[in-house]
Amino acid sequence: MGSFSIWHWLIVLVIVLLVFGTKKLKNIGGDLGGAVKNFKDAMAEEKNKPTELPRQGGDAGGTTIEGEVKDKQQH
């Protein structure tokens, strides 16, 4: 009762082919393959990307914000 035999899977495959047709299944397979390829390419680009930008000279290149610090506790 737990697992399906090969005959069950063949019947499911025939029903899927009848419902969707071979052309539509081919298009879905091509789209899925393209998506997987694009995902792998993006992961490879991310892996080769430097993790930190190089610093230029002694300047940190940041912005200094001036202001006053006030006590959070009010008496």
Q: Where are the domains of the chain?
A: 21-49
Give pLDDT, residue 58: 54
What is the rounded distance in angstroms from the CA atom of residue 27 to the CA atom of residue 33? 10
Dihedral-angle region of residue 21 (phi above 0 means left; psi in -120 to 50 means alpha; beta otherwise): left
Give pLDDT, residue 55: 62
Q: Can you point out the beta strands (E) in 1-75?
A: none
Give pLDDT, residue 11: 93
Give pLDDT, residue 31: 93
For 26-34, what is the mean pLDDT? 91
For 61-70, what is the mean pLDDT? 76
pLDDT digit string (tens) for 54-63? Answer: 666 555 556 7
CA angle 52, 56, 57 (to 5 degrees): 135
Please give the model's pTM, rounded to 2 decimal places.
0.44
In the chain, the amino acid numbered 11 is I
